[in-house]
A and B are shown apart, each in its own frame.
Chain A
Amino acid sequence: MENILEIRNLRVTFHTDNGVVRALNGVDLKLRDGETLGLVGETGAGKTTLAKSVMRLISPPQGRIDAGEILFGEVDILKASQADMLSIRGNKISMIFQDPMSALNPVITVGEQIAEVIREHESLPSKEAWDKALKMLSTVGITADRAGDYPHQFSGGMKQRVVIAIALACNPTVLIADEPTTALDVTIQAQVLEMMAELKKKTDTATIIITHDLGIVAQMCESVVVLYAGEVVESGPVRDVFKKTAHPYTIGLLGAIPKIHLDEHRLHPIHGLMPDPMAPPEGCSFHERCDFADESCALNHPELRIIGDSHSVRCPKAVSR
C-alpha cells in the first residue's frame, strides 16, 4: 500500500521565557492508505505537537518547526502556500480534538459548526450544506432536530460526537484523532470508539489515533508508533510491538497495565519522570529510567534500527534480550 502521509525528521521547538523546549527531535512516521496507526506516549511526549504540526497549527512566535518534511501525497505541508493549506485543513486532513468541552465554540449552534466546514470546502448552496450537516449529525448518532442547539446543551460524549462529525464532514483522506476519548468516562469511551471503528469501516479513512491507552491501540490499530521525549523509540505492526516488544520503555508501558487475571495488589509504574524537554540528557533519553541501562547508554544516543518486518526500535540492546 502507498504512504498517504510521511513525516521525515520533524523537529519542533517552543521558545519560552524560560528556555527552548524541544518538543519533537527528528520524528519519522509513515501512514499508509486506509491504515489505522496508534501514536502512543505519556503526557509531554510530543503527541499533540505532532498532530498540530501536520495541520500546521503550531503557532509562531513561540512554536517553530525547525526542520523536516511532512509529505501529504506530493505536497510538503510545511512548504505549502496558505491557500493550499486552507483547502487541506478540515477537507483532506482533519483533526479530532482532545477535549470536546473546549473544542466547540460555545456561541454557535452545533449544526452551524458542522455546516460551516462543509460550506467552506464543498461548493454547495447553504441549504444543501445544512442538510448534509444534519446527515452527519445522525451518522454520529445525534438526532437532526438538535442541530439548532448550542454545545452547552449537550453532554461530554455528545459533544465529542459533534467534534467527530465536524472532522468527518468532508470525507478526509487523513484523520488525526488526538486522544479522542481521554476526556470521556469509560462507558462513553466505549461507545465513541465503537462508533469510530464503524465509521472507519465505512469510509476507510487513514487514521492516526493519539492515545496513552494501549488498550485502544490493541483494539483499533494496525500499527503503532511509541513516542518518548519527542522521539520515536519503537514502531511497527501492533502484533510485533505487543508480542515481541523490544524497547524498555514499551515494555514498561505494557507492564504498567494492571492484569485482572493475576492477583496483583500494586500497579507497576515506570519509575521516574520524563526528562526535562529544555535540557534532555546525554545519550539515550530514556537511560535514567531504564532497568537495562549501562554506561554506554548515558553516552551514545541510539539510532532507530530495523529489527524485524517494518519493526524498528531505538535501543542497541533490543535484540540481545
Chain B
Amino acid sequence: MTIPVLIGATFLVFTIMHFAPGDPARIILGAGASEEALEAMRDQLGINDSFILRYGRFMLNLMKGDLGTSYRNGQPVTGLILGRLGNTLYLAISGILFAIIVGIPVGIISAIKQYSTLDNVTMFITLFVTAMPTFWLALILVIVFSVNLGWFPASGMAKGFPGFLVSLVLPTLTLGCGFAALIARTTRSSVLDVVRQEYIDLARAKGLPERTVIWKHMMKNALIPIITVIGLNFGVLLGGSVLTESIFSWPGVGRFVVESISFKDTPAILGCVVTLAILFTLVNLIVDLLYAFLDPRIKSQYRTSRGDN
C-alpha cells in the first residue's frame, strides 16, 4: 500500500507546487537580483525543464533516498526533516497517549452507566470537544494556562527534564483533546455493542469480579473498532500537528511544512509529504498487526485453515 499512496501523494503535491504562483529563484536571490542571475538560478534548480522530466527526476532520487536540497538554504532535505521528525513524533505520541488514557476510560464509564446523567454530560462534552477547531482550542489554552495562570510556556520546546515535558503539555492537549473525545465516543458505542453479548453474561455467571469482566472479557473485544478509529485518524492527527506546531512554535515537521510553503520550497514540502505519508502507512501496518494480535479469527484467516467449520 505504501507505494501507491506515495506516488499519489507526491504527484498531487508536485502538481500543485508546479502551478502555484511565485518564483523560487526570486525568493532565493531577493527582489534586487538581475534577470540573468535569476535565469541562471532557474537553470541550476532545474525549474525550466518540463513537468514530467522534473517529476521523474524527483521520483528517481526518492528511490535512492535522496529528497533533494532545500531552495531556502541549500541543505539536503533529508537531514532537515530527520532533525525535526523526532520532535513531531514526541508530540504525536504524547497526543495519542493522552487521548487513549483519557478517552478509553471515559468511554467505558459512559457505556456502563448508559443514559445516566454522567453519561449524558460526558457525551455532550465529547461532542463539544470534537466540534472545536484546533486553533481555537490552542488559543484558549494559551490564554488560560500561560497568560493568566502562567503554568506552561505559550510556545517553543524547552530542553531537558522537566522543562521539555512542561512545554509539551499545551501542544499535547491541543492535539489530543479532539482525539480523546473521538476515542471516548467510539469506545462507548463499541462497549455497548459488547455488553449485550451473551459471553459477558457467561463471564458474570462464572463469578468473575466486575473488573475482570470489563477489562478481560469486554475490552479485548471492544478494542478492535477503537483501534481502527485510532489508526484511521492518525492522519488527521498528523494534519493537526501542522497547525499545533505552528501555533506553539514546536520545531517539528508540521511547522517545517508551513515555513517551506511560504518559501515555495518545493523539495522540502515534498520531503515532508513523503515523510508523513510513510508515517501514516506505517501506523496502519501496526494497526493491522494489532488486529491479528487481538482477534484470533483474523489471525487464522492468514494461516492455512485447519479444516474446521
Q: Do the beta carbons of B207 and A107 come within 8 Å of each other?
A: no
Shortest CB-to-CB span from A146 to chain B, Å, is: 10
The answer to whether residues A106 and B205 also contact, given A99-B198, A153-B306 and a CB cut-off of 8 A, is no
> Which chain A residue has the least Cβ–Cβ distance from B296?
A150
Assess whether B294 is interfacial by the CB under 8 Å rule. Answer: yes
Give residues of chain B (167-211) contacting chain A, Cβ–Cβ below 8 Å.
197-199, 201-209
The answer to whether residues A94 and B221 also contact, given A103-B199, A106-B297, A153-B308 and a CB cut-off of 8 A, is no
Partner of B205 from A87, A89, A98 at Cβ < 8 Å: A89
> Which chain A residue has the least Cβ–Cβ distance from B218?
A105
Partner of A152 from B208, B220, B297 at Cβ < 8 Å: B297
Shortest CB-to-CB span from B166 to chain A, Å, is: 40
Q: Do the beta carbons of A90 and B296 come within 8 Å of each other?
A: no
Partner of B198 from A87, A103, A120, A153 at Cβ < 8 Å: A103
The answer to whether residues A108 and B308 also contact, given A87-B207, A97-B202, A102-B198 and a CB cut-off of 8 A, is no
Q: Do the beta carbons of B306 and A90 come within 8 Å of each other?
A: no
The answer to whether residues A105 and B203 also contact, given A86-B209, A153-B306, A155-B309 and a CB cut-off of 8 A, is yes
Q: Do the beta carbons of B300 and A163 come within 8 Å of each other?
A: no
Partner of A95 from B197, B205, B208, B296 at Cβ < 8 Å: B205
Give residues of chain B (205-233) contacting chain A, Cβ–Cβ below 8 Å.
205-209, 216-217, 220-221
The answer to whether residues A153 and B295 also contact, given A89-B205, A107-B220 and a CB cut-off of 8 A, is no
Contacts of A109 in B (CB 8 A): 296
The answer to whether residues A90 and B205 also contact, given A102-B197, A153-B306, A153-B308 and a CB cut-off of 8 A, is yes
Contacts of B294 in A (CB 8 A): 107
The proximity string for A residues 79-99 relative to B, scoring 1 for CB distances below 8 Å and 0 otherwise, is 000000111111100110111
> Which chain A residue has the least Cβ–Cβ distance from B307?
A153
Give residues of chain B (271-309) contacting chain A, Cβ–Cβ below 8 Å.
294-297, 300, 306, 308-309
Residue among B203, B207, B209, B300 facing the most chain A CB atoms (10 A cut-off): B207
Contacts of B217 in A (CB 8 A): 105, 108
Q: For the complex, give the distance between the alpha carbons of A91 and B306 in Å.
A: 34
The proximity string for A residues 101-142 relative to B, scoring 1 for CB distances below 8 Å and 0 otherwise, is 011111111000000110011000000000000000000000
Main SS class of interface, B: helix
Q: For the complex, give the distance between the alpha carbons of A105 and B220 in Å.
A: 10
Main SS class of interface, A: mixed
Q: For the complex, give the distance between the alpha carbons of A77 and B306 in Å.
A: 45
Q: For the complex, give the distance between the alpha carbons of A241 and B297 in Å.
A: 47
Partner of B207 from A104, A121, A154 at Cβ < 8 Å: A121
> Which chain B residue has the least Cβ–Cβ distance from A55?
B205
Contacts of B296 in A (CB 8 A): 106-107, 109, 150, 152
Assess whether A57 is interfacial by the CB under 8 Å rule. Answer: yes
Contacts of A86 in B (CB 8 A): 207-209
Q: Do the beta carbons of B206 and A107 come within 8 Å of each other?
A: no
Assess whether A210 is interfacial by the CB under 8 Å rule. Answer: no
> Which chain B residue has the least Cβ–Cβ distance from A88?
B207
The answer to whether residues A103 and B206 also contact, given A152-B300, A154-B308, A155-B309 and a CB cut-off of 8 A, is no
Partner of A116 from B198, B205, B208, B300 at Cβ < 8 Å: B208
Contacts of B205 in A (CB 8 A): 55, 57, 89-90, 94-95, 97
Residue among A87, A106, A155 facing the most chain B CB atoms (10 A cut-off): A106
| Nearest 9 Cβ contacts at the A-B interface | A89-B207, A90-B207, A90-B206, A150-B296, A102-B198, A117-B206, A105-B199, A107-B220, A86-B207
A interface vs B, CB < 8 Å? 52, 55, 57, 85-91, 94-95, 97-99, 102-109, 116-117, 120-121, 150, 152-156, 163, 166
B interface vs A, CB < 8 Å? 197-199, 201-209, 216-217, 220-221, 294-297, 300, 306, 308-309
Given A103-B198, A106-B221, A153-B306, 5 more contacts at CB 8 Å? A57-B204, A94-B205, A103-B201, A108-B217, A108-B220
